[in-house]
Structure 1
Amino acid sequence: MSTSHAVTWAVEESGGYETAWIEIDGTTLRARGRVVGTVPEPYWISYELDTAEDFVTRRLRATSDTAGGTAELDLRREPDGRWTVNGQPAPELDGALDCDLGLSPLTNTMPVLRHALQHRPGERDFLMAWVHVPDLVVRPNRQTYTHLGAERVRYASGTYRADLTLDADGLVVAYPGLARRM
């Protein structure tokens, strides 16, 4: 079954907004979006995200514009699990299944959907290909997602914790301190 969503979040942490057009088809997700932020500096980001089966990242393409110039990212996860960043091998990301676009509530969706954490008990640890904004630098990042109740999941990375409210499709409704769906 395929569902389409057009979602806009007010992103408090960046002083901006994100709008994403999302297509969930079975266990795949495709999205394209635009982000505008003012912190740490004014920026615009356009992105396209494509996942393989089980919501595993296949590719994230992004362009970021700031007063200092333009940054481009082509982040790919190959079927054998190896990652490339702008065509260059990124072995530090091997083992990761997901990308995480910084300050974007959209990319919290894939690990939640893969394990249905918005609906059923569980806790999962992940290695993520985390994308810093606005410079689009990619780094490995450890994260944990824990089911808290119906459509509630705790996100944790290092000492940071946030209890997310999700809709039935696993999309973020509220991410305290980061974003709130409009």
Structure 2
Amino acid sequence: MTTSRVLTWNVTASGGYETAWTEAGEGVLRARGRAVGTVPEPYWVSYDLDTAGGFVTRRLRVTVETAERTRSLDLRHDGHGGWTADGEPLPGFRDAVDCDLGLCPLTNTMPVLRHGLLRGPGERRLLTAWVSVPALTVRPSWQTYTALGPGERGARVRFASGTFRSDLTFDDAGFVVTYPGLATRLV
């Protein structure tokens, strides 16, 4: 069964807001989102995300508009370890199955749901295709998700990448409620 939801976050890390229109069910997530930020400069972002079964990224299309220019990125995963950015092969991403759009709490949903981290203990270290915002550069990023158990507002999962760590709270559907240092959900 597919459920549709509209989610809005106050994204403190960018000095802005994000809204995502989502459809999720049977291991698949589709979303389109819009965000506005003011850090490091004023910008607008729009994105479309599609996953295949098991919440594995299939495609992320992103457009960022600043006062100076408009940038677009078409990031694709073939389901067999191959990634491309605007049609060009991306080396170094063979083990990645997730994209991670910078400053976007939505893209934390896929690995958490795929690995069942809302239901019980566990830790997963994984490689992602991390997309910076507003520059839209793509680089490999090793990330660790550790289930911490229930909290006051939902299941807690620690996110770590490099020296950065934050204990995120997820609702029952697997969407971020609070991401200390990044965002808090409004709706």
TM-score bracket for the superposition, by shorter chain length? over 0.9
**CA shift for structure 1 position 72:** 0.4
2:77 and 2:146 mapped to 1: Cα distance?
Answer: 25
For the pair 1:56 / 2:56, whether they are aligned, the reply is yes
Q: Match of 2:44, as an amino acid? A: W
1:43 and 1:94 mapped to 2: Cα distance?
Answer: 31
Give 1:79-98 correspondences, 5 Å limit: 79-98=79-98
Paired residue secondary structure (2:109): helix
**CA shift for structure 1 position 73:** 0.3
Give 1:125-140 correspondences, 5 Å limit: 125-140=125-140
State the 4+ residue runs in structure 1 displaced beyond 6 angstroms.
none
1:179 and 1:166 mapped to 2: Cα distance?
Answer: 12
* Aligned residue in 1 for 2:176: 172
1:100 and 1:130 mapped to 2: Cα distance?
Answer: 5
Structure 1 unmatched runs, 5+: none
For the pair 1:44 / 2:44, whether they are aligned, the reply is yes
2:21 and 2:146 mapped to 1: Cα distance?
Answer: 26
Please give the per-residue CA displacement for 1:22-54, whole angstroms capped at 9, x wherever unaligned.
100210000000010000000001000000000
2:161 and 2:62 mapped to 1: Cα distance?
Answer: 23
1:80 and 1:115 mapped to 2: Cα distance?
Answer: 19
Q: Match of 1:160, as an amino acid? A: F
Paired residue secondary structure (1:92): coil
Q: Match of 2:28, as an amino acid? A: T
* Aligned residue in 2 for 1:101: 101
Supply the RMSD in Å over aligned alpha carbons: 0.6
Please give the per-residue CA displacement for 1:84-143, whole angstroms capped at 9, x wherever unaligned.
001000021121000000000000000000011012110000100000000111000000
Q: Match of 1:63, as an amino acid? A: T
Paired residue secondary structure (2:74): strand
TM value normalised by structure 1? 0.99
Structure 2 unmatched runs, 5+: none
2:94 and 2:163 mapped to 1: Cα distance?
Answer: 23
Preserved CA contact (<8 Å) 2:56 2:79: no
**CA shift for structure 1 position 67:** 1.1
2:166 to 158, 162, 165: 162
Preserved CA contact (<8 Å) 2:79 2:97: no
1:97 and 1:69 mapped to 2: Cα distance?
Answer: 30
Please give the per-residue CA displacement for 1:133-155, whole angstroms capped at 9, x wherever unaligned.
00111000000000000211000
TM value normalised by structure 2? 0.96
Q: How many residues align?
A: 182
Paired residue secondary structure (1:93): coil
**CA shift for structure 1 position 81:** 1.7
2:142 and 2:59 mapped to 1: Cα distance?
Answer: 19
1:94 and 1:73 mapped to 2: Cα distance?
Answer: 19
Paired residue secondary structure (1:14): coil
Q: Match of 2:92, as an amino acid? A: E
**CA shift for structure 1 position 4:** 1.1
